[in-house]
Structure 1
Amino acid sequence: MNAGASQPVIRATLEDVARTAGVSLATVDRVVNRREGVRAKTVARVEAAVAKLGYRADVAAARLARGQTFRFAFVLPTGSNSFMTNLTEQVQRTADWLAGQRGFIDILRVDVFDPDVLAAALENLSPAYQGVAVIALDHPRVRAAIDELTARGVAVVTLVSDAPSSRRLHYVGIDNPAAGRTAATLMGRFLTGRKGTVAVIAGSLSLRDHTERQFGFHQILSSEYPNLHALPVIEGRDDSERTRELTAALLARQPDLRGIYCCGAGNRGIADALEASGRAREVVWIAHELTQYTRRFLVRGTLDAIINQDPGHEARSAARVLLAHCSGEPISPDQERIRIDIFLRDNLP
């Protein structure tokens, strides 16, 4: 073999650690698994050998040896929301990876806009699940359902939309107030020197991510751009036809409308209404989530900017957090932090 040829990376085993430390395999197993009954000096020798060899436990192999598996439920919305469709596809891809880790995912489709329906789905969840990832409503009954699952020993991760006062284990999603502030800064800069009104369209203010985004948006717009006045929030329930009707009525009654910030979905309806009104190039429109539709609207100039979160990262992160919790492993906070992306027509991936 040539001197410059790459050598295969050989993973250190427990046997290698035992040989290096000069102890039995059983002793190494006790130290690595933090069981008592080993003298401090011996523990130190084993830990030194672990560090020297760079030994890392093969957690999946250990689960296989113990016949241990985990099953998780991902509770996702019904409807035709394009971002949620992308998220569902990413959860399905994540399920393929997780199966190799002895973990399995079932996708449950629920109307997450209805707190009673969502809470009932959580309350009636099969005891076969060790973990749940859910698009959460910040509602008393939903919080209570999450708390009941946690009390039963089921790990709950909120996904995209949080219920922070519940006993959920972890939230996987972007910093939504920061996303709203970012949208307001973009809106203010795009409309420099212009006066008028700006509309905010949410799916539902029962969804905490939508509420936090509009809060962050109003926070910056009112304090830094006094020439722009935000109108009361409109709720379109992430439905394109409902949102189209609301946007068309808005455009008809607000001749001074300068901008639209959609902090939820229903973007196809907004695009239809803007283009039908003939004001698509006049009104600045900022939306969330890069989908096949928002990409099209951005390219043709109807949409001006997209605030995005990566559904693949979120699906994988939720699965990693649940798996780590059930396995008793630590998570890496930096790896699980979901970043805010800003896309203009010029930097589309």
Structure 2
Amino acid sequence: MRPTTKDLAKAAGVSLATVDRVLNGRAGVRQKTVDAVNEAIEEIGFERNQVAATLARQRAYRFGFALPRAGGDFLDEITARIREFERAGRAEMIETPILHLDDKDPHGIARALARLSPETHDGIAIMAPETPQVRDAIGRVRERGIHTIAFVSNQPEEEGLDFVGIDNRAAGATAGRLMARFLGPARGTIAVLAETIQARSSLERRLGFDAVLNADYPGLRTLPTLETHGDAGRAQQILYNVLAAHGDVVGLYFMGADARIPIEIARDLSALAGRVLIAHERTTATEHALRRGEIDAVVHQDPGHLVRSAIRILRAKCENRSTLASQERIRTEILIAENL
């Protein structure tokens, strides 16, 4: 027979009510008691019946996703996977509402997060730029008892947030290695474009990219990151100016999650011909460009895995249990035309 909560209470030397408070992460329990219950869980091999626990709550879990209002095809794919999970998750009593944020307005993001309450959200996965306003707002969300994780783009490490996404420094290093290998003996300049360097994902990718090229490929020089802010007109002017000012551009690296605009503009400017181009995330635009041979490789992370992992981690936090690290590790995938 599987150990019950009565067995757990007896092994820990506490009441059933105390076991219930510990298992549900409620306040008012001394750390010494929490430790005793957790030790007893390991000792007797207690496994909680999660279906029964969820039914006992008499309401569904609500795990929100705070996402940029505009983010191109990759964000559309994430949204589709969230909606897909919500349809499948009804049997598990899990709801996944989406909160749309203006990622160019950190004060607006802070106000939106301030409106969240434990009555409406058990946890939230947050994809937002790294700014003081956002950092402080996330801290206040956690103080109100709502579990939080950083999603796709991390926040400062000192916040102690769980993060769901690829290792972006490693992803940037991967892009750097691919760029150099595709270029072979060629020497010259590499242009780097991002939507915004305020996104920690872009910052870490740039650090990884530079680390590889600076260490192993002295014949390649990278220009400072150019920010498009998702504006097609700005991206066109930036790319035109780079090509006009640097006649030795041999490669283009698009760090952002949505490469559609820079790919289209580079195509119009004939910047794709004869140059190596590396982008991030499998979208309709990058897949089409790969098939046509216009870009060389895409560094990708699976949107479905991102969404499922975020929900599993938030649920585990609510139920005061751990997750399998191997299950939640988001893999960095390399896509070329031949393995689409």
Aligned sequence identity (%): 35
Q: Tell me what 1:317 maps to.
A: 309
Give the 3-state SS of the residue equivalent to 1:199 in structure 2.
strand
- Are the aligned partners of 1:198 and 1:229 in contact in 2 as well (CA < 8 Å)? yes
| Structure 1 gap ranges (5+) | 1-15, 19-24
Residue 159 of structure 2 corresponds to residue 167 of structure 1: yes
Give the 3-state SS of the residue equivalent to 2:159 in structure 1.
coil
The equivalent position to 1:72 in structure 2, one of 63, 66, 81, is: 63
Mean Cα deviation higher: 94-103 or 256-265: 94-103
- Are the aligned partners of 1:241 and 1:269 in contact in 2 as well (CA < 8 Å)? no
CA distance in 2, matches of 1:179, 1:26: 44
Amino acid at match of 2:132: P
Structure 1 35/346 Cα, relative in aligned 2: closer, same or farther at 3 Å?
farther
Deviations 1:98-138 (A, max 9, x none): 33222211101111233222222112224421211110322
- Are the aligned partners of 2:65 and 2:124 in contact in 1 as well (CA < 8 Å)? yes
Deviations 1:295-340 (A, max 9, x none): 0001101111000011111111111111111122221111111110
The higher radius of gyration belongs to: 1
Residue 318 of structure 2 corresponds to residue 326 of structure 1: yes
CA distance in 2, matches of 1:27, 1:269: 60
Deviations 1:221-255 (A, max 9, x none): 11211111101110012344532332233223322
CA distance in 1, matches of 2:143, 2:247: 54
Structure 1 28/70 Cα, relative in aligned 2: closer, same or farther at 3 Å?
same
The normalised TM-score by structure 1 is 0.83
Give the 3-state SS of the residue equivalent to 1:252 in structure 2.
helix
Q: RMSD across aligned C-alpha pairs, in angstroms?
A: 2.6
Q: Tell me what 2:31 maps to.
A: none
User: Shift in Å at residue 26 of structure 1?
Assistant: 7.7
CA distance in 2, matches of 1:235, 1:289: 18
CA distance in 2, matches of 1:47, 1:169: 25
**Off by >6 Å, runs of 4+ in structure 1:** none
Q: Tell me what 1:4 maps to.
A: none
The equivalent position to 2:240 in structure 1, one of 227, 248, 251, is: 248
Give the 3-state SS of the residue equivalent to 2:274 in structure 1.
coil
| Structure 2 gap ranges (5+) | 17-36
The equivalent position to 2:225 in structure 1, one of 233, 256, 267, is: 233
CA distance in 1, matches of 2:56, 2:127: 34
The structure with higher relative contact order (CA 8 Å, sep 6+) is 2
CA distance in 2, matches of 1:17, 1:295: 49
- Are the aligned partners of 1:144 and 1:166 in contact in 2 as well (CA < 8 Å)? no
- Are the aligned partners of 2:299 and 2:334 in contact in 1 as well (CA < 8 Å)? yes
Amino acid at match of 1:93: E
The equivalent position to 1:151 in structure 2, one of 143, 157, 162, is: 143
Q: Tell me what 1:100 maps to.
A: 91
Q: Tell me what 1:343 maps to.
A: 335
Deviations 1:138-179 (A, max 9, x none): 211111111111111111111001113453541001101111
Mean Cα deviation higher: 262-271 or 75-84: 262-271
Amino acid at match of 1:314: L
User: Shift in Å at residue 66 of structure 1?
Assistant: 4.0
Structure 1 68/259 Cα, relative in aligned 2: closer, same or farther at 3 Å?
same
Q: How many residues align?
A: 317
Q: Tell me what 1:62 maps to.
A: 53
Matches within 5 A, 1:146-225: 146-165=138-157, 167-225=159-217
Give the 3-state SS of the residue equivalent to 1:100 in structure 2.
helix
The equivalent position to 1:288 in structure 2, one of 280, 292, 296, is: 280
Structure 1 68/169 Cα, relative in aligned 2: closer, same or farther at 3 Å?
farther
